[in-house]
A and B are shown apart, each in its own frame.
Chain A
Amino acid sequence: MKLTMTVNGQAVSFENILPTRRLIDILREDLQLKGTKEGCGEGECGACTVIMDGKAVDSCLLLACQLEGSEIITIEGLAKEGELDELQEAFVSHGAIQCGYCMPGMVMATKALLMENPAPTEAEIRNAIAGNICRCSGYSQIVSAVLSVKGSPEDVEES
């Protein structure tokens, strides 16, 4: 099948792609966007989370046949002109990053939350990442990082 979509603001199209090809394989293998990680392949761990049309989704569960016309943002698409997004900065400065394997998914899940709800409560943040496993931390620094950027005017504007 043919597929046209937008990834990190750029139009991409495939002339002949298997309808069952997973979004994560399209990103990692076809587009060489290796920031998105596979942790379980069945939507349980959230490591492969990307933003699709404004919502956090598991890229291991979406197939090419579901992607036509969609707008995808991956971890590589967050920094603008080399500058880290405010949320990325917060993850670094709050010591929220350890092994880092869950991080692309964790950042995208919380970015999607902030796009929809610029001032989430702690409970809303914890709920939003309930499907993203981090085995290194107790989630506290991650939650603090997200809380530190909530409600900032730029963030509202961006979303």
Chain B
Amino acid sequence: MKYVGKGYSIHDAESKVRGITTYAGDLRLSRMVHMALVTSTLPHAIVKEIDCSAALEMPGVVTVLHCFNTTEKKFSRYKRTRDIEVPEQERVFTDHPMFVGDRIAAVIAEDPATAHLAVNRIKVTYEELPAAETPIDTLNGVIDGMHPEGVVYEWVFDVGMSPAENETDLVQETTFRNDRVTHVAMENHVSVASYDEGLNELTIWSPNQSVYGMRYVVANYLEIPFNKIRMIKSTMGGSFGGKQECILEPVVGYVSWLLKRPVSLSLTREGSMTSAVCRAPLESKTRTVFSRDGKLKSVSMDTILDSGAYVGSSHGYVRTLGEMAVRNYSYSYLHYRGRAVTTNMPVSGGFRGWSSPECALILEYAMDQAAKKLDMDPIELRLKNVITEGDIDPFIHATFDKTRISECLTTGRERFNWYERRKRCVELSDDRFKIGVGMACGGHINGNYPDGADFSIVNMRVDEDGAVNVNVTLHDHGCGTVRVMQVIAGEVLGIDPEKISIREGDTYQTPEDVGCYASRSTHVIGAAVVKCGEALISAILNQAARCMGVPEDSLKYDSGEVYVKSDPGKRMTLKEIAIAAHYRFQESLDVKIQYRSPANPGVHGAHFARVRVDTWTGLVTVQEYLAVHDIGRAINPSMIVGQVQGAVQMGCGIALTETMTPKNPGTGRTVNSLRDYHVLNAFESPKVEVVLIEDPSNYGPFGAKGIGEVCFVPVSATIVSAVNNALGTDFNFIPMTPDKILDHLKVRRQ
């Protein structure tokens, strides 16, 4: 490999470090106005009156838009494609707010500071309605009728045959609870729109994961033809799944269409936390049956997920959790019941791993419990049950391909010195500090196969100067997908990756594509780039053969040049071939291919951690961390390591400190500031060793599989395992905050 496997920075690193990269919030257009939102302060209410007079008096305020002077039409943030069935529940500005943070009105002003100041001058009169703060309230009928289509979405399914249970089997019931967390992408949610009334064309810039998906929502909402909406993916300051749903795009699109002026809307941090999207709290009751020798026989899961006020993606999310339960362990029977329950809380939605990390928390906790009861080593127990090559995913009826989870476990066990470290915990602990070692593993997907429109289109063109353009609908989240495609194209064509130009999503310029979700970018779009590169080489050879007047099979392509095999002195460069194509044959050296993903290989990781729990303060320090991943092929190891380490930081925070539940719940309010929402900082984040197991898959580009989500899957479960090992506890919830740890220790001492 000439370029694959070397370390590269992200493609726009230098622009970012110079501070010259334009994010959507930096865009300024002529006649642009700025929006600031007025949101509900009650969890469930009817807006009786809005008094905007004081705001309208402020110099610089253009107008105030609100639920009584704008459309009543509704949209769904998640209906990004025709085949997603989800009710349209959300208005641009609502007179029936259903959570604290729901949009009621917006100030439109000539500059952002004025817009934000004017928000405080708007008076809203409400009639308060009964609110459901938890799914239990909803199931007890508190908000029956809030949405005409219902407030509970339920899935029940079984796969496999329920095996006979023996008296000697270990049958255990476990529960696991996740709290509500938020993505904390450093760039807040933002969108910019510009409507051209002469052309009836609407252009929207936003950091999003699918320009075509956003277009689908906005076009249907505004009843503008698809081909009159230009959706452009802007540089993304982090998503982690938070920017995959269509939240602000319909809002700015509508307002720009209404006012006939360009509009910019940047949420504040509070807005991103409460008005946009968060990860759902959920509780799962799980029954697992193991034979005495540790073979998992069956899993039965009953999950209740708090979808927040609008169902959004939650119905799909809670179903996927059940489907993820077969991506790491092989067993004969799964019974799954999942319910997404509407409440009067912020809207839940996609989060890195799309339910796989939550599934890992549930199953890994059950595994650790079973290991204790069966008196087995936790890694040994997992090795008896993880999937192996040849196993079939019972939901999609496809193999996991070359899955290497066993090797992740055994490699990690050795590298982490597992047995020795486990043993030494006691001697390293003292009265105050307790040391614990834990581990967890998990699996994920690579794309949507066999569901949805999982195809990619790539178009490559050689310019007259010999430069290669790759036109593809990418959405780099900030983790280096553009660079990955440069490296892949560079490897196929034998050209320095830096010299290859790659496009990102723009519905007027780049081809149709479902979007960058589900760890499909490298695996699916990358494979499409390989296929297109091969097609381009064929086209180059064909063109060169015509130029040189020799048969095509007498030529060889190598690193941007074509030569006659029997006479290597006779050669043409890409530049010469492109010029000849233009001026001798009146053609462009330009190819386009379609690629349909043929598989969905397993991708896995096993993580290991040592923690120290301070029993005086309840603070947990993650002292050491090892992540071992089955990656297929590492295209850009430097960014992979960075991504894995970032996932560990995020997963440790979610396990230990991050929660949107306030100290005094019961008002429908959540934590709404980074002052109270604690993500791990540089001082608290552990050092993370990353080991990559490379055994190329049969499908991805050069055998590569995804990493961005799977690296996050086992993290929180690993920390739960380690803390429970340190304290001898059975904590079955996250986050394990200092308060909760101290409360538990207090009870234990009594």
Chain A positions within 8 Å of B, measured between CB atoms, are: 21-22, 25, 28-29, 33-42, 44-45, 47, 74-76, 78-79, 84, 88, 91-93, 95-104, 107, 125-127, 129-143
Contacts and interface: CB of A to CB of B under 8 A. Distances in A.
Contacts of A136: 238, 478-479, 642-643, 646
B113 A34 contact: no
A59 B634 CA distance: 39
Contacts of B186: 37, 39, 45, 47, 99, 101-102, 133-135
Interface stretch (B20-28, B46-54, B371-379, B661-669): B20-28
Contacts of A28: 26
B22 A100 contact: no
A97 B186 CA distance: 13
Interface in B663-686: 673-675, 679, 681-683, 685-686
B494 to A, nearest CB: 24
Nearest to A22: B113
Contact of B674 (A40, A75, A141): A40
Given A92-B9, A140-B688, 9 more contacts: A34-B19, A37-B186, A40-B673, A84-B17, A97-B13, A99-B477, A100-B478, A101-B186, A136-B646
Interface in B572-628: none
A41 B682 contact: no
A103 B471 CA distance: 28
Residue among B25, B187, B642 with the highest chain A CB neighbour number at 10 A: B642
Contacts of B360: none
Interface in B1-39: 7-10, 12-14, 16-23, 25-26
B650 interface: yes
B495 interface: no
A81 to B, nearest CB: 13
Contact of B681 (A76, A92, A133): A133
A41 to B, nearest CB: 6
B235 interface: yes
A143 B478 contact: no
Nearest to A105: B186
Contacts of A99: 185-187, 236-238, 477-479
Contacts of B466: none
Contact of B187 (A74, A97, A101): A101
Contact of B645 (A35, A132, A137): A137
B639 A133 contact: no
Contact of B237 (A35, A36, A88, A101): A101
A134 B478 CA distance: 12
Q: Closest 9 interchain pairs by CB? A: A35-B19, A99-B478, A138-B645, A101-B237, A100-B16, A75-B19, A44-B674, A101-B186, A95-B638
A30 to B, nearest CB: 10
A138 B19 contact: no
Contacts of A88: 17-18
A91 B643 CA distance: 16
B456 interface: no
Contact of B10 (A39, A97, A135): A97
A34 B13 contact: no
29 contacts: A29-B112, A35-B20, A37-B186, A39-B269, A41-B268, A45-B186, A75-B18, A76-B18, A76-B20, A95-B9, A95-B639, A98-B639, A98-B642, A98-B643, A99-B186, A99-B238, A100-B237, A101-B237, A103-B17, A103-B19, A129-B681, A131-B681, A133-B674, A135-B184, A135-B185, A135-B679, A137-B645, A138-B648, A141-B645
B543 interface: no
B682 A104 contact: no
B113 A21 contact: yes
B670 to A, nearest CB: 16
Nearest to A139: B682
A156 to B, nearest CB: 22
A97 B520 CA distance: 22
Contact of A133 (B23, B25, B479, B679): B679
Main secondary structure of the interface of B (DSSP, over half): loop
A134 B187 CA distance: 11
A34 B21 CA distance: 9
B673 to A, nearest CB: 6
Contacts of B679: 133, 135
Given A41-B268, A95-B7, A133-B184, A103 B16 contact: yes
Contacts of B433: none
A137 to B, nearest CB: 5
B641 interface: yes
Contact of A42 (B236, B480, B673): B673
A97 B683 CA distance: 18
Contacts of B237: 37, 99-101
A7 to B, nearest CB: 13
A107 B17 contact: yes
Nearest to A96: B642
A92 B478 contact: no
Contact of B683 (A79, A100, A130): A130
B14 A84 contact: yes
Contacts of B479: 98-99, 136
Contacts of B480: 98
A53 B73 CA distance: 53
A100 B642 contact: no
B682 to A, nearest CB: 4
Nearest to A79: B18
A102 B679 CA distance: 14
B695 to A, nearest CB: 24
Nearest to A33: B19
Contact of A45 (B639, B674, B683): B674
Contacts of A95: 7-10, 638-639, 641-642
Contacts of A141: 641-642, 645
Contacts of A127: 682-683
B19 A135 contact: no
Given A95-B7, A126-B682, A44 B646 contact: no
B683 A126 contact: yes
Contacts of A132: 681-682
Nearest to B636: A95
B111 interface: yes
Contacts of A138: 642, 644-646, 648-649, 685-688
B333 interface: no
Nearest to B239: A99
Contacts of B235: 100
Nearest to B240: A135
Contacts of A35: 18-20
B188 interface: yes
Most buried by A among B9, B638, B645: B9
B17 A91 contact: yes
A9 B72 CA distance: 53
Given A99-B187, A135-B646, A91 B20 contact: no
A34 B682 contact: no
Contacts of A131: 681
B202 to A, nearest CB: 24
A142 B17 contact: no
B23 A84 contact: no
Interface string B93-133: 00000000000000000011100000000000000000000
